[in-house]
């Protein structure tokens, strides 16, 4: 393993005076699962307009093993090592399983970190976004332990089924939607019981985030050790025996990347994700079957169209920047930000 050369919140390949981050972000994902979350976390860490305050390593469905939250931490630490990034103090392991009921949290390091960050009162703090690309166990647990966090963040969540009139389910799909099914009770806490401001990116929207294998080969796989690692993780899914009976496919859904688009890539004036479209809807309830009903809750944003050009081009160019800087570092042409 090579020694770390830069830290979270530092971008030594950028001009000497980089702008201060405008927003705080907590990233929450199941990094031991689908590798689109690896693309998302790299992209977030390379985005200087957000201050990544911490990363919650969350669990997968129980059939994936008994300790997938810890597996997520190990996967992310390995990724950071490849990036030569110091993440000491930034990784927080979540609960090993979903909540027992809508009134019983799973206490964890991650839940306590979420509460501490949300309840900060330092002068000049930017708004806090909770960017979640998997289940909602740790956020729901934090809310059940300390309900006051609901007023102190905005949740951007990749998950849930289609909202009526804003999209159609894919052919032969089952219920519940995958991220919702990781912890149905936790999603019910957030949707049915809390008042947390919510930007929803449902299945019909995150499935728009298609890239081709040709793009990934030419614009990711060829970008040093990191690019090869990211592409290899996606290729491992495409070539897995479990998918061998499916027809050939040359695309992949990078469905967690909207977390970066909606938090880091906002407009300068009247900051907002101004190139993506949403509808304002009343928050639905989530039933025991994982379906939406009774749209009578707080008003939420439901994103139905995303600026994919901005999202993917920004990632590809930022990956280029890091790859070139690391190559220069190895050849003696770049300077490490660590002593």
* Domains defined along the chain, listed by start: 21-241+248-327 (3.90.245.10)
Using 50, 70 and 90 to split pLDDT, how confident is the model at 305?
very high
Residue 35 is predicted with a pLDDT of 97
Tens of pLDDT along 85-96? 999 999 999 999
Is residue 141 within 8 Å of residue 92, measured between CB atoms? no
Which are the contacts of 232, defined by CB distance < 8 A and separation ≥ 6? Answer: 221
Cα–Cα distances (Å) from 195 to 154, 155, 286, 289, 332, in that order, read: 10, 11, 14, 22, 52
Which region among 27-31, 51-55, 120-124 has the lowest average model confidence (pLDDT)? 120-124
Determine the Cα–Cα distance for residues 223 and 326; give it in Å rounded to an integer. Answer: 10
| Chain-centre distance for alpha carbon 40 | 6
Percent of the chain with pLDDT over 70: 99
Output the pLDDT for position 339.
Answer: 61
| pLDDT above 90: percentage of residues in the chain | 89
As a whole number, the mean pLDDT across the chain is 95
CB 200 within 8 A of CB 300: yes
164: alpha, beta or left? (left if phi > 0; alpha if psi -120 to 50) = beta
Q: Which two tokens stand for residue 327?
A: 């190559």
- Where b means 16+ CB within 10 Å and e means fewer, 66-83 reads eebbbbbbebbbebbbbb
**Which residue has tokens 């979350």?**
37
pTM above 0.95, yes or no: yes
Tell me the per-residue pLDDT of 115-165, one tens digit each, with 9 for 90 and over: 999 999 999 899 999 999 999 999 999 999 999 999 999 999 999 999 999
* 9-21 residue pLDDT tens: 999 999 876 678 9
Tens digits of residue pLDDT in 276-293: 999 999 999 999 999 999
Res. 109 pLDDT band, cuts 50 70 90: very high
d(CA 187, CA 192): 8
């Amino acid at each position: 393993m090579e020694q770390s050369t830069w830290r979270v919140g530092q971008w030594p390949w950028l001009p000497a005076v980089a702008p201060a981050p405008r927003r705080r972000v907590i990233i929450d994902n199941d990094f031991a699962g689908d590798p689109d979350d690896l693309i998302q976390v790299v992209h977030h860490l390379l985005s200087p307009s957000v201050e990544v305050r911490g990363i919650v390593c969350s669990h997968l469905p129980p059939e994936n093993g008994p300790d997938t939250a810890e597996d997520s931490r190990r996967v992310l630490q390995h990724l950071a090592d490849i990036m030569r990034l110091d993440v000491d103090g930034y990784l927080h392991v979540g609960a090993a399983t979903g909540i027992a009921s809508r009134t019983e949290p799973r206490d964890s390091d991650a839940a306590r970190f979420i509460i501490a960050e949300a309840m900060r009162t330092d002068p000049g703090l930017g708004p806090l976004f909770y960017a979640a690309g998997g289940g909602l166990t740790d956020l729901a647990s934090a809310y059940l332990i300390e309900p006051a966090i609901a007023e102190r963040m905005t949740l951007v969540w990749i998950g849930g089924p289609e909202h009526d009139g804003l999209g159609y389910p894919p052919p032969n799909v089952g219920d519940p939607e995958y991220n919702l099914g990781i912890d149905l009770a936790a999603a019910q806490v957030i949707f049915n019981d809390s008042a947390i401001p919510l930007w929803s990116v449902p299945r019909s929207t995150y499935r728009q985030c298609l890239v081709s294998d040709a793009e990934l080969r030419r614009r990711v796989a060829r970008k040093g050790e990191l690019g090869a690692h990211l592409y290899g993780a996606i290729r491992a899914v495409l070539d897995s025996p479990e998918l061998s009976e499916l027809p050939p496919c040359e695309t992949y859904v990078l469905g967690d990347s909207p977390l970066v688009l909606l938090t880091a890539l906002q407009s300068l004036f009247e900051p907002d994700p101004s190139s993506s479209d949403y509808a304002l809807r009343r928050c639905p309830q989530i039933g025991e079957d994982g379906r939406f009903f009774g749209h009578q809750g707080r008003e939420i944003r439901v994103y139905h169209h995303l600026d994919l050009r901005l999202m993917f081009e920004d990632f590809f160019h930022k990956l280029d920047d890091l790859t070139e800087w690391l190559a220069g570092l190895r050849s003696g042409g770049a300077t490490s930000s660590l002593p």
